[in-house]
Structure 1
Amino acid sequence: MNANANLLKNLVVISKIDAFIAGINSEKKKLVDQLAAKRQNLAALELSAKEKAYALRERKLYYEREDLHLKESQQKLVERRKALTTLGSYKLQVAAEREIEAAARQLAAQEERYVNTLDELDALEAAAVETKSAFETATEDLKNFQEEAKETSKVLEERLKGYMTERDAMVPLIDQKSLALYNRVKDKYPMDAVVVFSQNACSGCFLELGPQVTLEIARGNALVRCRGCGRILFLEDSKEE
């Protein structure tokens, strides 16, 4: 086996290791993103719960004022009707009756607003309860997720440590120039920097390169890269068992 063939085998091995490392880092990032999303959702629910609770308090105060005002208006109307019988003048009675009718219409409008306020209160209270419940559920969900994520992170870190140890052992087996080239390709394709050349095509981007590339790889004079995607190519029988 010539030096380049051995180099290619080592690059295949380190590429596999780096694919595992990239996968683990992707899982770690996913955990971080999920945690951030859950925290953001919880913060939004907390703000919404506070806003709805405030709106409910304000509407209750308005309802209490309307309730008091309505009772006062009802009492005044009753008193006016009682006073109507004490008026001796017909003209005064007619004028008083008109005032009572106007007051009755105002009272009816007040009562309608009062009923509408009750409906609004019911809706606001239901929304506040629903949001509070959602906040409590999200709080518990975040707590559970943090605990699970902590354990998952430990497992991922152990796996990552193992693969990094394997990678460190492979690095000295690859010359600096080839390693620098490989690392540039890996930065672009972390999951598959080194791919099989099969049926005259790159298995990374599926570009057909022709049979001459098979000969170039087989000769092993230099590393061969796909002219389409830039990945390093190897033949199936060059793959380390």
Structure 2
Amino acid sequence: MNQHLKELIELSRIDNELDRFAPQIEAAQKKVAKEEKKVEAVQNEIDTLRQQIQESRDKIASYEEQISALSQQLQDIQKKGKDISTEKEMKALQIEEEIAKEKLTFANEEIERLNKVIETKSALLEEKEAELAQLSEELESVKADVDQELQAIEKEKEGLYKAREEIIRKMDQKILSFYEKIRKWAGNSAVVPVRKQACYGCYLKISDKTYSDVIRGEEIVTCPHCGRILYLEEVEAAPEA
């Protein structure tokens, strides 16, 4: 087999090996992303609960101010009652007192309701914080596993890159350029075997002459249909009985 063709076959093999790492890296990164989304979702729930609890506390503080003002208003009404001289003034003061008492009752009821809301949401917040702690631990564990996996991949890639550089250094640059042009559109199938007299890139049958040239392996032959570089796989001899 032509030496240049051997180099192309080996280069193609290495490039295919390097390309197969991409989905592995993507899958590893997705593992981390999946766990990060879980953590983010629970963190968002925690943030929302904290905000709701704070809003309830702010409302309670507002109602407490109202209660203080209403209590003072009722005291003032009682003082005014001592100086009333007409029935009309008495009725007006009674209406004012009733309205103040209704507001006071409503404010106390709202405070009681909001305290229950705070109690419920605080219990849920505690559960979510515990869940977040657990998910954070799981995330760190997944990150550690993925880091090891990526380090192993990088180590393997490093060896392949060195082998690739070694081949490229010895190759004819015109042939290398020819290979790279085909690889741009053919990807991992730039160099393909011929099986049953068919190109295993486009799966179309090649002519007898082209097939004969591939068998001889004296020069680089391309598929007349798709333009990929063709070669004949070496079949190991069957062991003798």
Question: Normalising TM by the smaller chain, what interval?
Answer: 0.5 to 0.7
Deviates more, 1:12-21 or 1:180-189: 180-189
- Is the contact between residue 206 and residue 223 of structure 2 (CA under 8 Å) also seen in structure 1? no
2:19 pairs with 1:22: yes
Letter in 2 for 1:198: R
- Structure 1 alignment gaps of length 5 or more: none
2:172 pairs with 155, 172, 175, which one? 175
- Give the percent of matched residue pairs that are identical in Structure 1 and Structure 2: 20
Tell me the amino acid that sits aligned with residue 194 of structure 2.
Answer: F
Paired residues in the alignment total 234
Q: What code does the residue aligned with 2:220 have?
A: A
The answer for the alignment partner of 1:65 in structure 2 is: 62
Partner of 1:211: 207
1:200–1:210 contact (8 Å) kept in structure 2: yes
Contact 1:185/1:231, CA 8 A, preserved across alignment = yes
- Equivalent position to 1:12, from 9, 14, 18: 9
Q: How does the TM-score come out when normalised to structure 1? A: 0.66
Shift of 1:198: 3.2
| Alignment check: 8 A CA contact 2:220 2:230 kept | no
Find 1:144's aligned residue among 141, 145, 152: 141
Letter in 2 for 1:224: T
Deviates more, 1:98-107 or 1:117-126: 117-126
- Counterpart in 1 of 2:239? none
Distance in 2, matches of 1:185 and 1:238, equals 26
Determine if contact 1:195/1:232 at 8 Å carries over to the other structure. yes
Which structure 2 residues correspond to residues 29-178 of structure 1 after superposition, within 5 A?
A: 31=28, 53=50, 56-70=53-67, 73=70, 90-111=87-108, 113-114=110-111, 117-118=114-115, 121=118, 125=122, 129=126, 132-133=129-130, 135-171=132-168, 174-178=171-175
Report the alpha carbon displacement of residue 45 of structure 1 after superposing the two structures with TM: 6.9
* Distance change (3 Å), C-alpha of 1:163 and 1:92: same
What is the TM-score of this pair, normalised by structure 2? 0.66
Offset, 1:182: 1.8
For residues 38 and 183 of structure 2, the distance between their equivalents in structure 1, rounded to whole angstroms, comes to 35
Aligned-CA RMSD value: 4.5
Superposed CA deviations along residues 195-215 of structure 1, whole A, max 9, x for unmatched, are 223345443344x25435434
Post-superposition shift, 1:224? Answer: 0.6
Please, which runs of 5 or more residues in structure 2 have no aligned partner? 237-241
Change (3 A) 1:87 1:178: same
More divergent stretch after superposition (48-57 vs 62-71): 48-57
Using CA pairs below 8 Å that are at least 6 residues apart, which structure has the higher relative contact order? 1
